[in-house]
Chains A and B, each alone.
Chain A
Amino acid sequence: MDHPGQPKLTWRETRQRARRRPTLEFALLLAIPLIFLLLFYFYPLGEILRVSLLSQDAGGVRQLVARLLAPSSRRLIAFTLGQALLSTFLTLLAGLPGAYVLAKYDFPGRRILQALATVPFVLPTVVVAAALNAVLGPKSPLNHWLGTSFDLRYTFAAILIAHVFYNYAVVLRLVRGFWVTLDPRLEEAARTLGASPWRAFWHVTLPLLAPALLTATTLIFIFCFTSFGVVLILGGPRFATLEVAIYRQTIHFANLPLAAALSLVQILFTFGLTVVYTRLQRRVTRPLDLKPQWSTQRPVRKPREIILVVVNAVVMLGLLTYPLLVLVGRSFDEGLHYYRALFENPRHSIFYVPPLAAIGNSLHIALRTTALALVLGLLTALALYRGGVAWLFDTLFMLPLGTSAVTLGLGYLLAFDTPPLDLRGTPTLIVLAHTLVGLPFVVRGLLPALQAIRPSLREAAAVLGARRLAVFLEVDLPIVWRALAVGAVFAFTVSMGEFGATSMIARPEFPTIPIAIYRFLSRPGSLNYGQAMAMATILMAVCSAGFLAIERLRPPGTQPF
């Protein structure tokens, strides 16, 4: 029986799609997002290239190479690579047992555990940094309980722990998500052929999991390689990744040629890795007979299994949920005092920006970002769909996601400092940067939603008397509204939490919530610390609510990330 909700294409419809050619309408629709991309992505990147190579201070290729081969630069690149490799390895080590347990067993509370484990990944870096700051500092509950005063803040270990905390969800999402679809009978077949459980895993399951493992590894490596907020806040002055160095060279030393040169390394590296990632991702979708979850999971029965599940749950909650609870707890150390302080100006100083203003700024920017990202995203998705060139999306519109935020911020600083595009320090510049990061999320949800609408629905509306606009309003829009809403929430939460680009381009007197948290954390005193905790808790609540909304809204069977 045919089901109207399902995008089952007849051969005729497939043929019609293949035949669709780019039209004038398509060109006009695509022009606006393309101009946006050209002006606010490629132009700033071009400026980085220009400043690092061609500007008066830069001094050409020879100087660029010299700058990058200087001992300090080499140490920087080596450290960035090394910490990324180590972080990736540790994340896999920590995440794989969890992925195994959650893939193999179904037990009460599994869904909640899975959702809790995903929360860190959707949180802004400053919130993660604040939470780990609270957990690793001398006043942590653990220290209190043990009567000790270990301080792991501003150490290499802190950076590694933060990266594991942050990326655990990537392992869980990708590897567990893939594992759970594997037919358990394959392993059972190996067992009946004489393989021990370990050999069955090694020779059957692991090779099948390999694509998902490779994808997770690459993705985590990219995230750790471009890590900014975590290293800046948790690593202290002793540690710097490329991102942190670009930020410091720009903000503290105004050494733009060096910052631009480091950005160039960053860009080349992340592009290379993104290419690897897309290649690998294509392999994940190789034809496998995927099984529904209920058919591959088994309930927990044996005592050994119960212990396994319980231990795993304790580890996961301890690693992933405990720091967030500590964050919330610390924010209430003095009752509501820290929260109340957010609304006051204790110093009565005109240079002091009250935290409330930061919240207002963030909301203002996030709302404008959401509106702009939705309009541009809708235009982009429609143009790519109507033009039948959806592949353009992966090659062009995903690029900003593969570019580090600080690099983007540097590009903006360099590009928009002269008329007619003198946007220095304006909220608009922040909105544009955030939109660039949020746009891929909007398009990524909308495009498949549009593609899933059967052409016959639009034709049915037409034969019943609907003109083109009416077809769009009556058929397309109501069907894709969920995807649109998901995109809106994405754009909003991404904007609320964005730290890297904002820290580069926001004027000191116009801080956003993440900037304000960073400032509070870097100032001494328990009131500043408490206010950082309170603000991070608020931001965490906003982003968790956004994440929940996305989970609720997204059409079943689609992955949000």
Chain B
Amino acid sequence: MAFLSLEKIYKTYEGRALLDGVSLTVQAGEVVTLLGPSGSGKTTLLRIIAGLEPYESGCIRLEGQDIGHVPTHRRGIVLMFQDYALFPHRTVAENVAFGLRMQKLPRHRIQARVHEMLKLVGLEAFGDRSVVDLSGGEQQRVALARSLAPAPRLLLLDEPMGSLDRSLREHLVEELRGILRRVGVTAITVTHDQSEAFVLADRVALLHEGQIVQQGNPQDLYQHPGTPWVARFLGLTNLFPAQATADGSLDTPLGRFRLLDAGGAPSAGTRGQLLILPWGIQILTSRVDDHALPAQVTQCLFQGETERVVLLLNGVHLRITRQVGHQAPYQEGQRVWIHIDPSALRWFPASQGGDH
């Protein structure tokens, strides 16, 4: 039996379906990330689970028990807010102690637990500080300590990195992942940032227009996006219109490709889109074999650690990100050759829909 199960949660806002029958299960100890663009309803779903937001229909079960009518403060589900919602009139330690005081624990146990939590997030020395003076990263850690202190049955994290500077994020997301794993808490996080989702989650659920369009472990999701929308949302931009030919290969503006996956040979005449995963494209400065395609560099954008190369090939653009090394950057207008790995091809027949 699933630890948490959402069954067909339905919620409208101003006549529009914000959550359009969302079903999701979470196993005990699992970290699930809801990934979706803003307005996809992911924060609303968290608030519904926490009991902060009403919904029209559906069922929420926690350990088998329907908690739809249990008030927020008795659910044992803690939500860590995007703005952290630290109590400005209380010190760091008092913030962390809040949930424990609500449980009416004896003072010495509260103290011990607060100390333990502050140690967990690396803020042992911060107990007496005012939360107003803390940096963004420190605030996030206090919020995490406060959320974990009462040992919630389920922890919800709304955009935990959302209020932080870019430079802080990478480091703190690793730390957050470590803490969540160490504590072993069951958690649902929400984000619009795919790399954050991939780092944090055991399983990612993609939310689009109020529905979960795909879920799976991060690697599967990335390697096998279910629809062109998912692909694009994950930053996979090399999508091209394609049509199946009589011999089961695909005609695209780039040329003709044959899918490796024999089971899914497309029937002749089917239209759709072909995705080339980034790792399957290789730029060559000389023609090494007959499969190489001629292309021209139109732009080479230096980004620091990586650079983005835009290539023109048969009138369509191909975008590739590659590591910056000691080699000379490409010149605009430079002629190159492209090698495409057939195992990096993904085919989306048009009937699959979900594309815009």
Contacts and interface: CB of A to CB of B under 8 A. Distances in A.
A470 B101 CA distance: 11
A4 B52 contact: no
Interface stretch (B80-88, B239-247, B250-258): B80-88
Contacts of B43: 12
A479 B50 CA distance: 24
B79 A459 contact: yes
B157 to A, nearest CB: 12
A301 B216 CA distance: 72
B102 A464 contact: yes
Interface stretch (B70-78, B272-280, B300-308, B335-343): B70-78
A152 to B, nearest CB: 53
Given A461-B98, A465-B99, A4 B146 contact: no
B136 interface: yes
A479 B88 contact: yes
B131 A463 contact: no
Contacts of A459: 50, 52, 72, 79, 81, 85
B89 interface: yes
Contacts of A457: 85, 87-88
B150 interface: yes
A460 B82 contact: no
Most buried by B among A456, A459, A465, A479: A465
A464 B52 contact: no
B166 to A, nearest CB: 12
Contact of B135 (A1, A12, A461, A465): A1
A97 to B, nearest CB: 41
B211 interface: no
A462 B132 contact: no
Contacts of B75: 463
Contacts of A460: 79, 81, 85-87
B309 to A, nearest CB: 35
Contact of B73 (A1, A2, A10, A463): A463
B77 A1 contact: no
Given A2-B84, A12-B43, A463-B52, A478 B89 contact: yes
Interface in B28-63: 43, 50-52
Contacts of B50: 459, 463
A470 B84 CA distance: 20
B163 A2 contact: yes
B290 interface: no
Interface in A456-477: 456-457, 459-467, 470, 474-475
Contacts of A456: 81, 83, 85
A147 interface: no
B156 to A, nearest CB: 8
Contacts of A1: 135-136, 163, 165
B79 A479 contact: no
Contacts of B52: 459, 462-463
B83 to A, nearest CB: 5
A470 B74 CA distance: 13
A450 to B, nearest CB: 14
A477 to B, nearest CB: 10
Contact of A4 (B74, B84, B98, B135): B84
B352 interface: no
A104 interface: no
In this complex, the interface size class of chain B, counting residues with CB under 8 Å from chain A, is 35 or more
Contacts of B85: 4, 454, 456-457, 459-460
A462 B163 contact: no
A453 to B, nearest CB: 9
Contacts of A454: 83, 85
A3 interface: yes
A2 B163 CA distance: 6
Nearest to A13: B83
Contacts of A479: 88-89
B189 interface: no
Given A2-B163, A459-B85, A479-B89, A465 B103 contact: yes
A469 B147 CA distance: 21
Given A1-B165, A4-B84, A475-B87, A464 B139 contact: no
Nearest to A15: B13
Interface in B234-270: none
A463 to B, nearest CB: 5
Contacts of B132: 3-5
Interface in B117-132: 131-132
Interface string A389-404: 0000000000000000
Contact of B79 (A2, A4, A463, A474): A463
Contact of B78 (A464, A467, A474): A464
Nearest to B79: A463
A4 B92 CA distance: 12
A454 to B, nearest CB: 7
B180 to A, nearest CB: 17
Contacts of B51: 462
A467 B70 CA distance: 12
Nearest to B168: A1
B101 to A, nearest CB: 8
Contacts of B139: 2, 4
A409 B43 CA distance: 56
Contacts of B84: 2, 4
Contacts of B72: 459, 462-463
10 contacts: A2-B83, A4-B85, A4-B132, A5-B132, A457-B85, A460-B85, A460-B86, A462-B72, A463-B77, A464-B99
Given A464-B73, A470-B102, 15 more contacts: A2-B84, A2-B163, A4-B85, A4-B139, A10-B83, A457-B88, A459-B79, A461-B87, A463-B78, A463-B79, A465-B76, A466-B102, A474-B87, A474-B98, A479-B88
When A and B form their complex, which 6 residue pairs have the shortest distance between CB atoms, in order from nearest?
A465-B102, A464-B99, A460-B85, A456-B85, A462-B72, A1-B136
